[in-house]
Structure 1
C-alpha cells in the first residue's frame, strides 16, 4: 500500500513538472537561439528597411498586391531605401531598388502595368527610382521611361486655373496627395534632363503654381489645416457646394502635402521666387499641425476630431509629419523648436506603434490602409468613412515615411 502511495506521488510530480515546462515562457537562452533576421544593434531606419525586405522580397509586390505593379507605394519605400543605401553602402539595398526597375521597365523603356491615358498623378512617384538609377546605370530604357512620365505631366488635364487633376477618372479635382506624387519628380526632371532654359523655368513656375492653388482652394483659414480634396465643378457628393472642398482634414493627406513641400525645395533653385512662398506655406502648415498633436506625440486619423468616438492615433500621418518637421528644421526652412515636435512624435511612434518579433523583424502598427474620395464603391469623405477604412500593420505608406523620419532624426 505504501509503495503504491509513493508511485502515485512520483507520477503526480512528473505531471506537474510537464505542465510547468509546457507553460514556461522561453528564457533568454531560448531567445538567443532564435536567429535574428534583423539585428537589434542597427538604427531604426535599417531595421525597418530590412524588415520590409524580409516581408516583401520583391519591391514590385509592395502594398499587399498579388502581382507586380508600377505604383506610388513602391516609389515611396524605394525612395526611403535609396537614403538607407546612401548611408550604409550595403549592396542589398541597391539590389532591392534596381530589381524593381529591372522588372517593370522592359528593354524598350515601356513601363509595365502603366497606362499614360489614365493620367494618374500617383504613377509619377516611382519615377524617383529612375531618376536615381539612370545616372548610375546609363540604361537607355530607364531614360525612356522617365521621358514617358514627364510627357504625362505635359498632357495632364488641368482645372481652369492650372491645377492638375488627380486622375483622368477624377475630373476637376485636386487632392493634397498629388503634390507629393508628382511635383518633386517634375522639378528634378526639369533641372537634370531638360536643356531648354525657358522650358525649365516654365516647369518650375508650374510646380509652384500647384502649391499656390492648393493653398488658395483647400486651406481652412480658421484652423490652418487643409482639406483632403477640392472639386472645381462642385459636382461630387463629397464636395461642399460653396467651396468645393471635401469635409475633413485627413492626417495622411496633410502628411503627403508636408513631405511634398520639404522635398520639392531640394530641386527648386535658390533664386526662384516660389521658394519663399513654399517655405511660408510650410511654416503655416507646421503651426497648424502642431496645434492638433496628441499628448502622446501622435496625430489622429481625422486631425481635428480627436474626441470623437472611433477616431484613432494613426501611424502614417504621424511618420510623415515627423519627417517633414525634422527635414524642415535641418534645411533651415522651419524654426528650431519644431525639432522638439518631431522628436516627441518619433518617441510616440516607438513607444506606442512599434512591435518587434523574436527574430528581430520590426512592425509598424495602426496604419490606415487606404483612403480616397469618390470612385466605386463611392467614398464620401465623411468622418465615418475615414475611421472605418482598413487599419493594418506595415502598410508601406507608413513604413516608408518612418524610415525617412528615422534617417532625418538619426535614430
Structure 2
C-alpha cells in the first residue's frame, strides 16, 4: 500500500517553494534516494532526476539559491546532488554540491564551533540544522577526499550535542542561544524550554546518517553511545499505539497529539540504528511505521490517500508577526497539514529501512535479494 502511495505522491509533487532550492524538496529527494537504494526500482530514480533537474542548470547553478542568506536548511538537498553525481558522473551535480560546500566554508558559527542556524537566527543552534548540514558535510568531505571537512562536521555535531542535551530528561532541546538574547533562551543554559518531537526526530536522523559513514573507532562508539541512550528514552516515551506526541514528554498537556512526522523520523532512525549495529530497537521502529500506515495514511475525497497529523512547521523566535517562545503551549498551536513532505519523506525512509531488513532476512535464508540501486541506472 505505501509504495503506490509514495509513487502517486512523487508523480504529482509540486515544488514546495515554487521551484526554489529548499530543504522541503530535499526531504523528498532523500526519501526517493532511500527507496531507490533499498529496491533498485528505476521509478524512484526517475522521480528524483526529474525533480532535481528542474532546479540544477547545465553549469551547476541552483534555482534561486543565494549563498549570502546563510540558510543552513539549503544544505540538505545536496544529498541528491552527490547521489546523482555518483550514479551519472555528470559534473554539474558535483559543481552544484561544491557551491553548498562553499556556503559551509563561510557560514557563521558560534564561538564553540557549530554553525548558526541561519543568518537571521544569529548565535543560535537548532537541532533541525544538525540534520540539514552535518550528514551532507560528511558525505561531501568523503566525495572530495577532504578528511578535514569530515572531521569538522563530527566536531561540530558532538559540540552541538553537548550544548543541547538536557540531563534531567535525557532528551535534547530544540534550540540553544549562545548569546542568551532570545526570550525563549534560559539565561543560565541558553536552551529553549520544551521538547518538540520533530526537532528530536531531525536529530535522530542526523545521528544515523552521520554514523553510517564513520569507520569503527572512538568517534563512532561515542556517537553510538549517545544515540543508544536517546533511543532508550524514545522507547520509554512511545504511546500505547506506537507513536510519539508533538511535545514528546508532556502527555498531560491539553491538546497534545500523536504527530506523524516525528513518528516517521523515529521509525526510520530506530530501524537504521539496528542495521548499523548500534542497538536493538528496530522492532519499535517497524511498529511505528505500521501504526502510521494503519492509522494515518487515510483515504480522502477523490480516492487518494494522505498522511494525516503532520505539524506544518515550528521554530523559535519571531516569525510572521508572532514570537515562538518554545513552550509546550506554543508547539501545540502550530498548524497541522496533511501530506506535508516533512512527514511523507521520512515515512518513505522508514519503509526503505523495512525493505532493507526484509531483504537481509531473505539473504540470510538463501533466497537472494533485490538488485542494488547502483546497478539500476
Same fold (TM over 0.5): yes
State the distance in 1 between where 2:37 and 2:353 align. Answer: 13
Match of 2:142 in 1: 191
Counterpart of 1:156 (choices 99, 102, 107) is 107
Distance between the aligned counterparts of 2:143 and 2:65, measured in 1?
Answer: 23
Within a 5 Å distance, the mapping from 1:78-117 to structure 2 comes to: 78-117=29-68
For 2:25 and 2:97, the matched residues in 1 are separated by 16
Aligned counterpart in structure 1 of residue 295 of structure 2, from 352, 371, 377? 352
CA RMSD of the aligned region, Å? 1.8
What displacement does 1:319 show?
0.6
Q: 1:293 to 1:332 in 2, by over 3 A?
A: same
Contact 2:165 2:171 in 1 (8 A): yes
SS in 2 for 1:49: helix
Aligned length: 354
Q: 1:164 aligns to what SS in structure 2? A: coil
Give the 5 Å matches for 1:59-70. Answer: 61-62=15-16, 65=17, 67-70=18-21
Partner of 1:280 in structure 2? 225
Between the aligned partners of 1:94 and 1:340, the Cα distance in structure 2 is 28
Q: Which aligned segments of 4 or more residues in structure 1 are displaced greater than 6 angstroms?
A: none
The answer to whether residue 150 in structure 2 is matched with residue 204 in structure 1 is yes
Q: Give the match's secondary structure for 1:230.
A: strand
1:327 aligns with 2:272: yes
1:263 aligns with 209
Cα distance change, pair 352–244 in 1 and its aligned pair in 2 (3 A): same
1:241 is the counterpart of 2:187: yes
The answer to whether structure 1 residue 365 and structure 2 residue 308 are counterparts is yes
Provide the C-alpha distance between the structure 1 equivalents of 2:340 and 2:96, rounded to a whole number of angstroms.
Answer: 27
Please list the CA deviations of residues 255-301 of structure 1 after superposition, one character each: whole Å capped at 9, or x if unmatched: 00000010111222334x32111101101110122221111111100
Find the residue that maps to 2:192 and give its secondary structure: coil
- 1:217 and 1:185 map into 2 onto residues whose CA distance is 21
- Cα distance change of structure 1 residues 106 and 224 upon mapping to structure 2, 3 Å threshold: same
Matched, 1:120 2:71: yes
1:210, CA displacement in angstroms? 2.2
After superposition, give the CA deviation of every residue in 1:296-341 in whole Å (9 maximum; x if it has no partner): 111100011111101111000011111111110111111x2x1232
Q: Return the alpha-carbon distance in structure 2 between the equivalents of residues 359 and 151 of structure 1.
A: 46
| Cα distance per residue 1:131-184 (max 9 Å; x no partner) | 011123332221211111011111111111111111111111111111111111
Among 212, 215, 223, the residue aligned to 2:169: 223
Structure 1 residue 381 corresponds to structure 2 residue 338:
no
What is aligned with 1:47? 4
CA contact (8 A) 1:208 1:278 kept: no
TM-score by length of 1: 0.82
Q: Which moved more, 1:222-231 or 1:46-55?
A: 46-55
Match of 1:317 in 2: 262
Q: Which consecutive unaligned segments of at least 5 residues does structure 2 have?
A: 359-377
Please report the TM-score for the alignment, with normalisation by the length of structure 2.
Answer: 0.89
8 Å CA contact 1:300, 1:314 repeated in 2: yes
**Structure 1 residues 358 and 387: CA distance shift in structure 2, 3 A:** closer
Deviation per CA, 1:348-403: give whole Å up to 9, x if none.
22232121358764321000000111133332212222111110111111101111
Alpha-carbon distance between aligned partners in 1 of 2:30 and 2:303, rounded to the nearest angstrom: 23
